[in-house]
Amino acid sequence: MPPRCLGAAVLFFVRHSSEKYLNSFPFIFLFPGNAASLFTPFCVVPCLTFLKAASKRAWCVSNAHQAIAILHKAIQEAQTPPCGPVSVEIPIDIQGSLIPLALATASVTPLAGAIGMGLPMAIGVAVANPQRKVVGLVGDGGLSLSLGELATLAQEQANVTLLIMNDGGYGVMRGIQDKYFGGRQYYNQLHTPDFTQLAQAIGLQAWQVEHVDDFQAVMTKALASVGPSVVEIRVDKIGALRFAGPPQKTLY
Ligand SMILES: Cc1ncc(C[n+]2csc(CCOP(=O)(O)OP(=O)(O)O)c2C)c(N)n1
Ligand SMILES: [Mg+2]
């Protein structure tokens, strides 16, 4: 009980005394709540109601399996401007339970959505999980930012199959410019190397796929091999881009 009262007071203090300052950086408030076993469909959870009023967003972890996903969302939300405090209520009994961390390594992506991290992250995940096969999914544009890491992949013999979606440019940007800027295309065509030849020159086994029908056989071979491999998909040869769009309905 005492930590909870102290926490509430601290949150209100920082919220009201320095709101402007607080909104300028990510702030996550972890709140020790009532035992989840006490929650019922008929009972309002007072802490969460209070946290929602005092924060930009608030969640309550109602079972241990949700914990990682909720913390992940909270970190993302805290870093999205305008920042503001976000709160996560972690009931006292869940704090004492085992949290299945395997979920956290099933899919690894950069939180801020930066391109260029795919290959270095895939190598890092593989080095940290030598018992697992890692599939790295990158675009030709993103990979171009960290192309030298292909040599690291070969040097470390990391157990990674790197899947390169090569459409010869910034496909997402092409889609955005088509959809929101009347089809004006600027700076989206990239000079990209033949990634398959480049990977082979570095000493990696690599295959190129130009037809959907060939994908399964090549991927099966790549996944079956222990150690690094590269599969380059020539997206431009497979068909026209169907742009799904950014998550928001209207961005611009
Ligand atoms: C460091 C960084 N620079 C720029 C961007 C903006 N950006 C988002 S997607 C994208 C294009 C990525 O191209 P590619 O990796 O080839 O993937 P594609 O969209 O073609 O599938 C760019 C430039 C970003 N997210 N991060
Ligand atoms: Mg691309």
Q: Indicate whether 170 and 97 sit together in one domain.
A: no
Q: How far is the CA of 175 from the centre of ligand 1 (A)?
A: 12
Mean pLDDT of the chain: 84
Domain final residue, candidates 37, 68, 101? 101
Burial class (CB in 10 A: 0-12, 13-18, 19+), 224: exposed
Task: For residue 145, give the ligand 1 atom closest to its CA.
Answer: 1
Long-range contact list for 12-17, CB < 8 A, 24+ apart? 12/54, 14/85, 15/54, 15/55, 15/85
Final residue in a domain of this structure, among 47, 68, 101: 101
Please state the atom number of ligand 1 nearest to the C-alpha of residue 144. 15
- The answer to the question of residue 62 being in a domain is yes
Candidates 186, 200, 188; CA nearest to 231 is: 200
In angstroms, the Cα distances linking 122 to 31, 114, 129, 136, 234 are 33, 15, 10, 5, 21
Q: Residue 200 is encoded by which pair of tokens?
A: 């082979």
What pLDDT, on a 0 to 100 scale, did the predictor assign at position 25? 74
Q: Are residues 58 and 83 in the same domain?
A: yes
What atom of ligand 1 comes closest to residue 143's alpha carbon? 15
**Ligand 2 centroid distance, CA of 50 (Å):** 45
User: Which whole number is the average pLDDT over 63-90?
Assistant: 87
Whether 245 is in a domain gets the answer no
Q: Of the candidates 90, 87, 158, which has an alpha carbon nearest to the alpha carbon of residue 119?
A: 158
Contacts of 38 (CB under 8 A, 6+ apart): none
CA–CA separation, 137 and 119 (whole Å)? 8
Residues 66 and 122 in one domain: no
> Which ligand has an atom closest to residue 144 CA?
1
pLDDT-based confidence at residue 5 (cuts at 50, 70, 90)? very low
Domain encompassing residue 55: 8-101
> How far does residue 35's CA lie from ligand 1's centre (Å)?
44
Question: In the chain, count of helices (H) and strands (E)?
Answer: 13, 7
Q: Residues 133, 188: one domain?
A: yes
Domain boundary among 69, 101, 133: 101
What is the pTM for the complete model shown? 0.65
- Residue 161 sits in a domain whose CATH number is 3.40.50.970
Confidence of residue 36 (pLDDT cuts 50, 70, 90): low
Cβ neighbours, 10 Å, residue 149? 21
- Read off the pLDDT of residues 39-51 as tens digits, 9 standing for 90 and up: 565 555 667 787 8
